[in-house]
Structure 1
Amino acid sequence: MPSSSTTEIRKSGKFLKYLAGFIILLAIIYTGGWFYLANQLESRVATNLAAFKQKGIDATCDNAAASGYPLRLGLECTKVGWADQAKQLSVVAGSFNAAAQIYDPMHIVSQIEGPAAVDAPGMVPLDITWKDLGSSVRLDKPLPKQISVQGNDIVVNQRNAAAGSAPIAIMQGGKLSFSTTEPKMNIAWSFEKLKIADNIVYEHPLPELTGAADIELENGFALLAKPERDITILRGQSGLLNNVDLGFADGSGIAISGPFSVDNEGRISGDFNVTMRNPEGVAQAMRGILPGEENTISSVLQAMAFVPKDANGAPTLPITVKNGKMSVGFIRIGRLPSL
């Protein structure tokens, strides 16, 4: 008669066999499901590219292939491009890969390799390089909930420029992000150590710039449905400048905050606080940018000595804008152009 220990060992062995078989079965089902989804992804990419061609847009994703097994599902392309002949706009870049974790399929991250060749109306042909450039998208219905793009060590050159020519622009890092909670949209961007080549803007040298912005649009979700693709898209919008900041290498800079609105004619209204960090440093930078405005710059610098200071001791000037007309108290100081 078999002992109880022998019986337990047999039962344990059977259990392990069943467990191993169950795990193998799950692995087979999972693998089959992954490759089914991978095939669907490749088919969807081919269908979408064909649909763009019917619209006159040559979108390319060379050697498109699903990747990421077993824990991710993604797409890799050896080269990507976008060419809209009607708008004379084209962008061609290097390899591209995007993927989502199986356990979080609504969050897609991607990376794209340079260089990129950019052609657009009214611009010289550009070649753009970077150390890394990636994006993160949080999908939702009917539109993505969050989108962010970030890059480092970005260099913009004129294509076929003479050997030794300085780049058009160099930027140490930059980030742009959108987030939506219907009907609101929040837009934030920042850049570090942006240096634009001399004589590109205002035909004068520009200092190295660092900037950031955090803007909330009350009905920004509606912008996504508008056909306009220029600044007039902001007509009828209202929101809040949480902070818009432009800084110079010595730490001086200008920051603007406050609520605003734009009417249907593009006229801006709002109540803003303009803060100037180290006014003398700002004035020195502006003298280099606008050498013909020495008297105006000096007058503004003198006036800032008499305005209220914030908690950090920086002069802060309240400016009211009504239908584009700017004033400090009852003193009219100018007019903003309509959007």
Structure 2
Amino acid sequence: PGPHSAYAGRSTVVDLAADAWGGRGGPPRDGCGDATLKNGVALMKTQARSLRGQAVDIHKLDLSSRTARITVSGPVSVDANGQVNADLTIKLQDPKAVAAILATAIPEQKSQIEQGFAGLALLGNEPSMPLKVVKGKVSLGFIPLGKIKPLD
């Protein structure tokens, strides 16, 4: 395999690490996804133990909890310092239910989440918008969601 080889995988159950939210858990969630890890074959052969310097293209990742559903697609990378960067498109089903989950998981951003998602409700029951992560700072459209700590 050359330097541009890739590894594609599919998952039928997704368990988000509570560590990404500062050790806080959330409601039960199910999901499935399809993504391509850049240079995946080479990484599997070397059994790399760090996410730093890695990149993945998410073709489609579906996460759900009861009536709330989030569908995500786009590129994600981790720089040499462990900072996450992403340029994703996110589609929400039942934004009010998604807002309730996020407000519980990120209580310090509760008022911003509730205000932002009140506006999203005007866009219908399945709005689509950009989800950006720049050096670990996460925002959903104009709604700041917090920060992801550097990864190992």
Q: Structure 1 residues 244 and 325 mapped into 2: Cα distance closer, same or farther (>3 Å)? A: same
Q: Which residue of 2 aligns with 1:244?
A: 61
What SS class does the counterpart of residue 305 from structure 1 fall into?
helix
Contact between 2:60 and 2:73, CA under 8 Å: does it hold in 1? Answer: yes
Q: Which runs of 4+ in 1 moved over 6 A?
A: none
| Matching of residue 336 in structure 1 with residue 136 in structure 2 | no
Aligned residues: 140
Runs of at least 5 residues in structure 2 that lack an aligned partner in the other structure: 15-22
Native 8 Å contact 1:184 1:219 kept in 2: yes
Q: Tell whether the 8 Å contact from 1:210 to 1:247 is kept in structure 2 after alignment.
A: yes
Corresponding position of 2:33: 213
For the structure 1 residues 185 and 271, does the alpha-carbon distance in structure 2 shift closer, same or farther, using more than 3 Å as the test?
A: same
SS of 2:98's partner is helix
Partner of 1:217, secondary structure, is strand
Alpha-carbon shift at residue 256 of structure 1 (Å) = 1.6
Give the superposition deviation at 1:273.
0.9
How far has the Cα of 1:244 moved from its partner? 2.0
- Going from structure 1 to structure 2, the CA distance change for 1:289 and 1:263 (only over 3 Å counts) comes to closer
1:183 aligns to 2:5 (yes or no): yes
Q: Distance in 1 between matches of 2:139 and 2:103?
A: 24
Question: Cα distance, 1:320 vs. partner?
Answer: 3.2
1:266 aligns with 2:90: no
Distance in 1 separating the partners of 2:105 and 2:131:
24
Shift of 1:327: 5.0
SS in structure 2 of the partner of residue 239 of structure 1:
strand
Residue matched to 1:225: 45
The secondary structure found in structure 1 opposite 2:31 is strand
Q: Distance in 1 between matches of 2:107 and 2:32?
A: 26
Label 1:325 to 1:208 Cα distance change in 2 as closer, same or farther (>3 A).
closer
- Which letter does structure 2 place at the counterpart of 1:246? L
State the 1:318 CA deviation. Answer: 0.9
Amino acid paired to 2:84: I
By how many angstroms is 1:326 displaced? 4.1
| Preserved CA contact (<8 Å) 1:325 1:332 | no
Question: 2:103·2:114 contact (CA, 8 Å) conserved in 1?
Answer: no
SS for the counterpart of 2:41 is helix
Q: Using the aligned pairs only, state the percent identity.
A: 29
Q: Deviations over 1:89-117 (max 9, x none)?
A: xxxxxxxxxxxxxxxxxxxxxxxxxxxxx
Structure number with greater Rg is 1
Residue among 92, 96, 108 paired with 1:280: 96
Gaps of 5+ in 1: 1-141, 143-181, 193-200
- State the TM-score, normalized to the length of structure 1: 0.35
Shift of 1:189: 1.0
Shift of 1:211: 1.3
1:257 correspondence with 2:73? yes
Structure 2 Cα separation of the partners of residues 288 and 268 of structure 1:
23
Q: Give the distance between the partners of 2:28 and 2:11, measured in 1 at CA.
A: 17
TM-score, scaled to structure 2: 0.69
Equivalent residues of 2:54, 2:77 under 8 A apart: yes
Maintained 8 Å contact 1:220/1:237:
no
Mapped pair 1:317 → 2:133: no
Q: For each residue in 1:118-144, what CA deviation from the matched residue of structure 2 results, as whole angstroms up to 9, or x when unmatched?
A: xxxxxxxxxxxxxxxxxxxxxxxx9xx
